[in-house]
Amino acid sequence: MGAAPDRISPQLATLVGAPPKGAGWVYEIKLNGYRILSRIESGKARLFTRNENDWTAKVPSLAKEVEGLPVDSAWLDGEVVSSERLC
């Protein structure tokens, strides 16, 4: 496999009044958190906000957990929700 791209765009939630009906739909409940893109390159993780701010130093424990994944190169896109204030 080739190297991961230099950047990706996050998948952002779309606010709707009700979940979709019918088979084949997957949805998630919107929680207030921070959209974080995790880039793993050569086994090292860096965490970015959707505005490309580097948050690796703000949440080092999350970066360490991401580095524990069994991959050498990848992008992960998700919402980070915590009961504690992150910044």
pLDDT in tens, 22-70: 898 887 777 778 889 999 999 899 999 988 999 999 999 999 999 999 9
Query: For the purposes of burial, counting CB atoms within 10 Å of the CB of 47, is it exposed (0-12), middle (13-18) or buried (19 or more)?
Result: buried
Chain centroid to CA 6:
15
H-assigned helices in the chain = 60-67
**Is 30 marked active-site?**
yes
**Catalytic residue selected from 21, 30, 44, 58:** 30
* 2-20 residue pLDDT tens: 667 777 777 777 778 888 8
* 73-85 residue pLDDT tens: 999 998 888 766 6
| Domains of the chain and CATH, by start | 34-80 (3.30.470.30)
Taking Cα atoms as reference points, which of 4, 13, 82 lies closest to residue 43? 4
Record the pTM. Answer: 0.72
Report which DSSP code applies to 54: B
What residue type is 74 in one-letter code? A
